[in-house]
Amino acid sequence: MSGHDSKYFSTTKKGEIPELKEELNSQYKDKRKDAVKKVIAAMTVGKDVSSLFTDVVNCMQTENLELKKLVYLYLINYAKSQPDLAILAVNTFVKDSQDPNPLIRALAVRTMGCIRVDKITEYLCDPLQKCLKDDDPYVRKTAAICVAKLFDINAELVEDRGFLEALKDLISDNNPMVVANAVAALAEIQENSTSPIFEINSTTLTKLLTALNECTEWGQVFILDALSRYKAADPREAENIVERVTPRLQHANCAVVLSAVKMILQQMELITSTDVIRNLCKKMAPPLVTLLSAEPEIQYVALRNINLIVQKRPTILAHEIKVFFCKYNDPIYVKMEKLEIMIKLASDRNIDQVLLEFKEYATEVDVDFVRKAVRAIGRCAIKLERAAERCISVLLELIKIKVNYVVQEAIIVIKDIFRRYPNTYESIIATLCESLDTLDEPEAKASMIWIIGEYAERIDNADELLESFLESFPEEPAQVQLQLLTATVKLFLKKPTEGPQQMIQVVLNNATMETDNPDLRDRAYIYWRLLSTDPEAAKDVVLAEKPVITDDSNQLDPSLLDELLTNISTLSSVYHKPPEAFVTRLKTTAQKTEDEDFAEGSEAGYSSSNPVDSAASPPATTGNIPQPAGRQPAPTPAAPAPVPDLLGDLMGLDNAAIVPVDEPATPSGPPLPVVVPASTGQGLQISAQLSRRDGQVFYSMLFENNSQAVLDGFMIQFNKNTFGLAAAGPLQIPPLHPGTSARTMLPMVLFQNLSPGPPSSLLQVAVKNNQQPVWYFTDKIILHALFGEDGRMERGTFLETWRSLPDSNEVQREFPGITITSVESTIDLLTAFNMFFIAKRKNGNQDVIYLSAKVPRDVPFLIELTAMVGQPGLKCAVKTPTPEIAPLFFEAIELLFKA
């Protein structure tokens, strides 16, 4: 059994911490080492062993590297929570940074840089200065990264102490590892700084290109990516750079290959010689294809990048379409990307092969993949005029298999083919009509109806076909209704006989009287007026020739494409979005919360309705829609007390109410979330949550003593947090006997100990008693406990405030899991938490509600909720001067609706 690390996980029944404490102070080295291992084991499974801080630090002075490393690992974890004690380690750190062993010197600097405690940082500067000039490259490369660490903690210090210059000197270091780290550190510092720090001129370029050949694979990526920002002065320089970089294409590491590709593509922009360009394209093809032999995860990245590259330079892979044929065992995310590239590479020369593949894919099992394959056939038909007929015959073959979703998808693409090649393939309409009754997807139905209307004069029974759809008109989705309306008008204009005339009357009536969809209503009114004033003009309008559509498979906006190409081999090239759309580090104001993955549908470019417009409209439209303008929310109801606190009420004690321990605790409200389970708390279980009563914030707590001992002397302490929440008075808990519990509502004050940095819902709490170690736990600040009673806003003010705030102050989030059961109950619920009703309106079958709220220090929160009653999915948009708090607000919304 000896020697297994897992033994450190076994716990003794009683007093683990005191036992460890004893072992840590043992006179035997081995015992101490074992004890530290046990401490680390406890730490990794999330146990709090911070109370052993002093004892662990005492083990730091050792020649044994294994032990030293363990102690350092511990320090990185706990120094932050014990800043006063961390100072104990400083002496040893400083001493270690001068140790004759370079490993120890590096270790000291590396670890100090990871401890974000001011006192440690102060002492870091001197050793760091020495280590940047150390004789040993391992120390220097560690010091280089440490400068980036220090910059992150205290940028001024880095500049004041001249570390930037030292770092720049390291670019000329004779050790490539040091160069690579210096480049990485400088690149990061530059990213977070507005002044020019790391600019690449032709001297640095030469140095770095030389270092490139000797670097490790990872260093090569750092250097290539840093160099990709360099703009060559002329075509000759560009060619030179490319020549130096091309050998990297042969590297086994995919990251090196892609970074080299990016660099070459960028320099190619400057190169004028067509020979050189053709030659480069030829050189890049095999390594790009080889990326598809890597693990599927890498293939996915490669495919997303290739998708961009072929849009810009289709020739590179024009002859390689076969390598993009889907393999039977490719993961679905790889297959989908391959399909996309196959469409892009499809040409008159290879279309037969490609169609054969698509046809095969259309009979596979994965429904999404099958649909995409069918759509791909249609897209090829639109792209390649000469192949259109072959594409259509494949589609017809697929329709004959009569697999429902294949048929529907085929009809959707055939509609597009009709648009692209008018008056060419109508002969197949009869075949399509056979599948009419099986259509149940709105898009397929709408497409079929469009076809019938468009070619009504050639379909003998067009009126019968349309009539069959009309019966269910009121129940159809808007998309189908709109098409039905237009198709019926077309039919009537083409065949102005009695049948169609009756039909059009029914449709127009339905669309104007029975619906509340403004789009449908407006369109119906336009047709109606057109038909009644000038039927000939109606013909000119409705039956006008349509603009020809083109294939959309290359439709990334050229400027976006160029931007993405400069970001080849970055996340941006995988999401097909510019970096600012998803990088949220340090730029909280521009934050966009996006729950969806970017890879899907990224080319569709869905634009959601501009919330500013819709926000400006509610008061205006309320006149039309029956809206209880006089509806006054109940006069500021007190928030329901989440915890019944009878005794406190009776005695008029608002501060700390104590429920006697022998009284059965029968909470009727939602139980408090457990923050320290009995298993971690040595039998003591703590549950707690922030709440609000009568304009005051409380911390509702429940203590349950399942241990064998009486616990007394409870105290509480809150760490610095975003709202500076702190206890307004002492924690009043009577001595807890085994098996008993006690509740309290601890009054809280705000803005006592504010934490710097971006807002966070993190609330770190420490609770202690006389018998046990300190319990640390983290809770969440629930924002609705902080919303003030004075958050109500006049409508005009609301509108004005909304308009006065820039768009960047708006943040949205979708909650697909939340269902609104009624508008009224939602308003009541939110009013109870001081979110005040402003207005509501209908948008199609969705309800939009506007509310206002205020968080402390008078920050207004303007809220827009959009949902369909009874359907899952709630969209929440907020506009506020401090959008950084929005994520906290969303957490609150989630919590409120889940309860």
Partner 1 sequence: MMISQFFVLSQRGDNIVFRDYRAEVPKGSTETFFRKVKFWKEDGNAEAPPIFNVDGVNYFHVKVVGLYFVATTRVNVSPSLVLELLQRIARVIKDYLGVLNEDSFRKNFVLVYELLDEVIDFGYVQTTSTEVLKSYIFNEPIVVAPARLQPIDPAAIFTQGAKRMPGTAVTKSVVANEPGGRRREEIFVDIIEKISVTFSSSGYILTSEIDGTIQMKSYLSGNPEIRLALNEDLNIGRGGRSVYDYRSSSGSGVILDDCNFHESVRLDSFDSDRTLSLVPPDGEFPVMNYRMTQEFKPPFHVNTLIEEAGRLKAEVIIKIRAEFPSDIVANTITVQMPLPNYTSRASFELELGAAGQRTDFKESNKILEWSLKKIVGGGEHTLRAKLTFSQEFHGNITKEAGPVSMTFTIPMYNVSKLQVKYLQIAKKSSSYNPYRWVRYVTQANSYVARI
How far, in Å, CA of 499 to CA of 394, rounded?
36
Give which of 193, 263, 265 is closest to 225, Cα–Cα: 263
In 3-state terms, what secondary structure has residue 11? coil
Name the residue nearer to partner 1 (CB basis): 64 or 732: 64
What region, left, alpha or beta, does residue 652 occupy, with left being phi > 0 and alpha being psi -120 to 50 degrees?
A: left
Q: If residue 299 lies in a helix (H) or strand (E), which one and from where to where?
A: helix 296-312
**Which is closer to partner 1, CB of 318 or CB of 543?**
318
Q: Using the rule CB under 8 A, which residue among 92, 121, 142, 481 binds partner 1?
A: 142
Q: Are 223 and 212 in contact (CB under 8 A)?
A: yes
Q: How many whole angstroms from its chain centre is CA 896?
A: 22
Residue 10, interface with partner 1 (CB under 8 A)?
no
Query: Which of 11, 98, 101, 216 is in the footprint of partner 1 by CB under 8 A?
Result: 216
HSE (CB half, 13 Å, CA atoms) of 759? 18
45 or 634: CB nearest partner 1: 45
Hey, which residues between 289 and 308 contact partner 1 (CB under 8 A)? 289-290, 293, 295-298, 300-302
Q: Report how far residue 432's alpha carbon sits from residue 444's, in angstroms, rounded to the nearest whole number.
A: 11
The residue range among 476-484, 490-498, 584-592, 837-845 that interacts with partner 1, by the rule CB under 8 A, is: 584-592
* Residue from 11, 91, 203, 250 binding partner 1 (CB under 8 A): 250
Binding to partner 1 in span 345-364, by CB under 8 A: 353, 356, 360, 363
Contact with partner 1 (CB under 8 A) among 421, 455, 582, 897: 582
Quick one: 148 or 867, whose CB is closer to partner 1?
A: 148
Of 51-59, 248-256, 457-465, 747-755: span binding partner 1 (CB under 8 A): 248-256
Spatial separation of the C-alpha atoms in residues 298 and 296, rounded to whole Å: 5
By C-beta, is 305 or 707 nearer to partner 1?
Answer: 305
Among 15, 18, 331, 730, binds partner 1 (CB under 8 A): 331
At closest approach, how far in Å is the CB of 398 from partner 1? 9
Cα–Cα distance measured from residue 616 to residue 841, given in angstroms and rounded to the nearest whole number: 12
Q: What string marks each residue from 398 to 437 as x (binds partner 1 by CB under 8 A) or -? A: --xxx-----------------------------------
Q: Tell me if 595 contacts partner 1 by CB under 8 A.
A: yes
* Cα(676)–Cα(777) distance, integer angstroms: 7
* Distance separating alpha carbons of residues 148 and 79, to the nearest angstrom: 20
Among the listed residues 88, 543, 599, 612, the single contact to partner 1 using CB under 8 A: 599
**CB under 8 A: which stretch of 307-315, 419-427, 593-601, 725-733 binds partner 1?**
593-601
278 binds partner 1 (CB under 8 A): no
Q: What residues pair up with 711 in beta bridges, in sequence order?
A: 736
Greatest pairwise CA separation for the chain in angstroms: 107
Q: Of the listed pieces 118-126, 320-328, 676-684, 727-735, which binds partner 1 according to CB under 8 A?
A: 320-328
Strand arrangement of the beta sheet that strand 859-867 belongs to? 810-819, 872-879, 859-867, 846-855, 836-843
In the complex, least distance from residue 179 CB atom to partner 1, rounded to whole angstroms: 13
Among 760, 772, 801, 843, binds partner 1 (CB under 8 A): 760
**Piece of the chain touching partner 1 by CB under 8 A; list 250-258, 435-443, 746-754, 854-862:** 250-258
Rounded Cα distance between 155 and 194, Å, is: 12
CB of 83 to partner 1, least distance (A): 15
Of 221, 346, 395, 763, the one binding partner 1 (CB under 8 A) is 221
Q: Within 97-116, which residues bind partner 1 (CB under 8 A)?
A: 103, 110, 113-114, 116
Other CB atoms within 10 Å distance of the CB of residue 438: 13
Burial environment of residue 326 by CB neighbours within 10 A (0 to 12, 13 to 18, 19 or more): buried
Short-list 308, 311, 313, 367, CA closest to 335: 367
Measured distance CA(182)–CA(575) in Å, rounded: 29
For residues 434 to 463, the per-residue mask of contacts with partner 1, x marking binding by CB under 8 A and - elsewhere, is ------------------------------
Phi–psi pair at 414, nearest 5 degrees: -65, -35
| Rg of the chain, C-alpha, whole Å | 34
766 binds partner 1 (CB under 8 A): no
- Whole-number minimum distance, CB 247 to partner 1, in Å? 10
Q: Tell me if 70 contacts partner 1 by CB under 8 A.
A: yes
Distance CA 381, CA 550 (A): 10
* Only segment of 284-292, 443-451, 475-483, 627-635 that touches partner 1 (CB under 8 A): 284-292
Buried b (16+ CB within 10 A) or exposed e, 303-324: bbbbbbbbbbbeebbeebbebb
* Residue 141 found at the interface with partner 1 (CB under 8 A): yes
Instruction: Closer to partner 1 by CB, 46 or 626: give it.
Output: 46
Q: Could you tell me the smallest distance in angstroms from the CB atom of residue 383 to partner 1? A: 21
**Would you count residue 396 as binding partner 1 (CB under 8 A)?**
no
**Amino acid at site 246:** T
